[in-house]
Structure 1
Amino acid sequence: MTTELKIGQFAKQVGVNIETIRYYERLNLLGPTSRLPSGYRLYDRDSQRRLRFIKNAQTLGFTLHEIEELLDLRVSSKARCGDVQRKAEAKLKHVEAKVRDLQSLATALQRLIRTCRAGQPTDHCPILQSLEGEKAGTVHATKRR
């Protein structure tokens, strides 16, 4: 016998908000196993596994659209692990590009922080001047007074 949970119990057990479950249902990522005559949604262990899959995939940076594609591969009899591997490789390339972008931002911020003289008035602040410039993150030459 399968134990089915109402939406509140289900949300609590998996550690998400009820509205999150409803949102995933609207996107057809998740659905109740059945409904009571009163209309209450019921969820079983497969629903719990699917919701954990969604949350774990999000933790790895997959978008909901990408998660939908992974879920489709998961249930397709023609799909192979290599199909999933290619999606994971594409995600990794995207993450690595983001890391490079964040490293560039960190370098730009470090450069700006080094140019800052804490005691000077804000109208001479190189950080603020850079933010007003055409390209944020570049250090503009400032005249010393």
Structure 2
Amino acid sequence: MNEATFLKIGELAKQTGLAVGTLRYYSDLGLLQPVQRGDNGYRYYSHDASQQVEFIKKAQTLGFTLEEIKQILDVRDRGEKPCSLVQSLLNNKIKQLEIQIKQMTLFKAELEEYRSAWTNNPSPESKPQEVCPLISSVSLHSASLN
């Protein structure tokens, strides 16, 4: 092995702007494969490893988890184009966001109701052990985002 033709993990970290620990983590998850390990235990990466890291970072920007990115890379490593998987994962993310937006909208409306009620009655009677009678008046089963 001619170690000069490969990048050590520190060199890859400088090229990508990621910490060495992050690159090791990616390696441990199978997202980034070293070309080989030297007798010294160093991980050596090909020069296109920085493109792989850039792909991972872009996929994360789109909201893909490292597990999902691994699925995408596994499809690619089998020699297939993962675009249909990417589209399916993206559709699922959009559906999840729509659900979260609905939940957040309901929660916002609930908070606005509390604000209105508390504005009309800012100092309800309290028990000595209560930190804040306003919060104490809230039902644990009413909050939308428990």
Q: Equivalents in 2 of 1:109, 1:12: separation in Å?
A: 47
Q: Percent identity?
A: 36
Who is 2:140 aligned against? 134
- Residue 120 of structure 1 corresponds to 123
**What is the aligned partner in structure 1 of residue 128 from structure 2?**
none
- Unpaired segments of 5 or more residues in structure 2? 125-130
What are the ranges of 5 or more consecutive residues in structure 1 without an aligned counterpart?
139-145
Deviates more, 1:97-106 or 1:65-74: 97-106
What RMSD over aligned residues (CA atoms) do the two structures have, in Å? Answer: 2.8
1:68 positional shift:
1.1
Aligned residue pair count: 134
Match of 1:109 in 2: 111
**TM-score, length-normalised on structure 1?**
0.71
Matched, 1:58 2:31: no
The 5 Å alignment of 1:1-145 reads 4-79=6-81, 81-117=83-119, 120=123, 123-125=132-134, 127-130=135-138, 133-137=139-143
Provide the TM-score with structure 2 as the length reference: 0.71
1:56-99 deviations in Å (ceiling 9; x for gaps):
22222222221111112233334463343222222221222222
Structure-1 separation of matches of 2:142 and 2:38: 57
Distance in 1, matches of 2:36 and 2:18, equals 20
Shift of 1:25: 1.7
Report which structure shows greater RCO (CA 8 Å, sep ≥6).
Answer: 2
Partner Cα separation in structure 1 for residue 24 and residue 113 of structure 2: 46
